[in-house]
DNA sequence: GTTAGACGTTAACCTAAATTAAGATGTATA
DNA sequence: TATACATCTTAATTTAGGTTAACGTCTAAC
């Protein structure tokens, strides 16, 4: 990775848009609840923009246990962010009947990223929001108790709470469903 | 956040570089070990590119306990990724005498992000690497035991292990120094 | 209607890691 | 040199959360 100054020294601006190519690279998909869009270990990874419904990404560990990495309701981007060349770390599946737009990782990097940075502040805001979400998540995981993580989640994503089963919330928080149940009971004691 | 198609519909390419402005926006800083570059709660957040040395970002919780969010040795970007308008969540300080390049969050978003996406693949790779690191970190935190997290850290960042005290590694892993000490002993039993 | 799965809750028990405290070593400073 | 301070380790104790299992509710399938 180059430094800021090195970047400047080498910078030459020339950019010819390829709108047709861009348009062709986007596929629209209707996905039924339960459908799996992407497998852990797969090599062709995509980005999914959720127009309607909700997607979920998760891993399955050696003991066969599911751990939810992220929920993506309407307006969110769903993607496996593991390094480009590596196979996908995540499963992605569909929690509600959904409509999504799909772009391959390769197309996104080559075509969308440059375009988005210039013309689509919302797109970069989307990436920044993703980063902010992950940062907060890490901070909660290393510093907060189960109940604090739960309360933070409720405040931040009250919508998601209504739409997914408790056991998935527990999985997202990094605890068992039983522990979440216990912890919820304790709040009103 | 707009969808891919909406983005395309609205896209108009025009981009005039402002190299002079860009250059002026970069400051070079020599920082002594222990210096604090940025405070939790501060409003003027910067991005730091580490040319030499090492930076660290961390929070201090209500009980006064430190939790390390990230290390940034040479070649890494250090930044608080909490939402633009919010005050900084993180302290950033200096673990070794360092040389860093500094750009304000505002300048970065307005000037560097567009430029980098087009001309500097390494820069976007840097952001993607950041995302990949965070993703892996979250997965480890929700699914792996203390010892597994430690072993993963050793494999992934053998360099950092040599350069920072154990208690900071523990803090990064989300465990106490005592627990890390115990866990290290257990590996050779 | 009956049955079989999912889901959520509760409780008994267990374990990993936190807390507290003490001691051993190293290092910077008066 | 002596003092203080930070780091790491070990051990005793406590606690948050995991595991296992039982039970009630709900929904889907027969």
CATH number of the domain enclosing B108: 2.60.120.10
What are the φ/ψ torsions at residue A18 (nearest 5 degrees)? -130, 70
Chain A CB contacts of B84 below 8 Å: 128
**Does residue A152 belong to any structural domain of this protein?**
no
Q: What is the pLDDT of residue A181?
A: 96
| Nucleic acid strand D: bases within 7 A of protein CB | 6-12, 16-21
Q: What angle do CA B32, B38, B40 make, to 5 degrees?
A: 140
Report protein residues in contact with nucleic acid strand D, where contact means CB under 7 Å: A 145-147, 174-176, 178-179, 183; B 165-167, 177-178, 180-182, 184-185
Which residues of chain A neighbour B137 with C-beta distances below 8 Å?
138
Assess if residue B12 is contained within a domain: no
Q: What is the pLDDT of residue A125?
A: 62
Is residue A163 assigned to a domain?
Answer: no
Q: What percent of chain B has pLDDT over 90?
A: 57
Element (H, E) at A97: strand A91-104
Give the C-alpha separation, A9 to A5, whole Å. 6
Residue A68 lies in a domain: yes
Statement: residue B186 has pLDDT above 90: no
CB-side neighbour CA atoms (13 Å) of B151: 10
Which nucleotide C1' is nearest A173 CA?
A: D17
Of all residues in chain B, the one with the smallest CA distance to A118 is B114
Q: Identify whether A129 is part of a domain.
A: no
A100 CA to C10 C1' in angstroms comes to 40
Phi, psi of B78 (to 5 degrees): -115, 130
CA B65 and chain centroid, separation: 20
Classify residue B4: in a domain, yes or no.
Answer: no
Question: Smallest Cα–C1' distance to nucleotide C10: which residue has it?
Answer: A182
What band does B120 get if pLDDT is binned at 50, 70 and 90?
low
Nucleotide nearest to A165 (CA to C1'): C7
Q: How many domains does chain A have?
A: 1
Inter-chain contact B138–A139, Cβ cutoff 8 Å? no
Q: Find the Å distance, CA of residue B181 to C1' of nucleotide C24.
A: 15
The CA R_g of chain B, rounded to the nearest whole Å, is 19
A137 found inside a domain: no
Question: What mean pLDDT comes out for the span B158-183?
Answer: 96
- The answer to whether the CB atoms of A76 and B141 lie below 8 A apart is no
Q: Which two tokens stand for residue A117?
A: 């940075």
Q: Which nucleotide is nearest to B176 (CA to C1')?
A: C18
By the 8 A CB rule, do B63 and A145 touch? no
- CA/C1' separation B34–D1 (Å): 29
Task: Choose the most confident range, by mean pLDDT, from A25-34, B79-88, B127-136, B162-171.
Answer: B162-171
Q: Which nucleotides of C are covered by protein (CB under 7 A)?
A: 6-12, 16-21
Query: Considering only CA atoms, which of B23, B62, B72, B73 is closest in space to residue B40?
Result: B62
Among chain A residues, the shortest Cα distance to B99 is held by: A3
CB contact under 8 A, A123 and B10: no
Whether A105 is in a domain gets the answer: yes
Residue B15 has pLDDT above 50, yes or no: no
Tell me if B32 sits within 8 A of B93, measured CB to CB.
no
Cα distance between residue A45 and residue A66, in whole Å: 20
Chain A CB contacts of B107 under 8 Å are none
Contact A1 B77 (CB under 8 A): yes
How far is residue A67's CA from residue A61's CA, in Å, rounded to a whole number? Answer: 8
Output the six-digit token pair for A7: 């970047």
Domain that holds residue B42: 23-120
pLDDT of residue B165: 97
Question: CB-based contacts of A25: which residues, under 8 Å, 6+ apart?
Answer: A103, A104, A107, A111, A112
CB contact under 8 A, A3 and B101: yes
User: Is pLDDT larger for residue B109 or for residue A48?
Assistant: A48
Poorest-pLDDT segment among A160-169, B3-12, B66-75, B78-87: B3-12
Specify the nucleotide whose C1' lies closest to residue A179 (CA): D17
- Determine the Cα–Cα distance for residues B171 and B168; give it in Å rounded to an integer: 5
Across the interface, do B11 and A112 touch by the CB < 8 Å criterion?
A: no
**From first to last of its 189 residues, what are the pLDDT tens digits of chain A?**
576 676 656 554 444 445 566 677 888 899 999 999 999 999 888 999 899 999 999 999 988 999 999 999 998 999 998 876 788 999 999 999 999 999 888 887 776 666 555 555 555 666 778 899 999 999 999 999 999 999 999 999 999 999 999 999 999 999 999 999 999 887 654
């Amino acid at each position: 990775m180059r430094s800021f100054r090195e970047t400047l020294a080498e910078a030459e601006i020339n950019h010819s848009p390829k709108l047709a190519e861009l348009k062709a690279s986007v596929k629209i998909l209707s996905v039924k609840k339960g459908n799996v869009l992407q497998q852990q270990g797969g090599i062709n990874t995509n980005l999914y923009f959720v127009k309607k419904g909700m997607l979920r990404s998760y891993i399955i560990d050696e003991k066969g246990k599911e751990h939810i990495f992220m929920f993506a309701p309407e307006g969110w981007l769903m993607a496996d962010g593991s390094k480009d060349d590596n196979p996908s770390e995540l499963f992605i599946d569909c929690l509600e009947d959904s409509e999504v737009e799909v772009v391959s990782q390769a197309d996104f990097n080559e075509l969308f990223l440059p375009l988005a940075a210039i013309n689509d502040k919302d797109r970069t805001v989307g990436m920044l929001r993703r980063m902010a979400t992950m940062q907060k998540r890490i901070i909660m995981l290393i510093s907060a108790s189960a109940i604090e993580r739960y309360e933070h989640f409720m405040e931040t994503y009250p919508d998601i709470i209504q739409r997914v089963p408790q056991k998935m919330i527990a999985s997202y928080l990094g605890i068992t469903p039983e522990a979440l149940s216990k912890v919820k009971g304790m709040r009103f004691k």
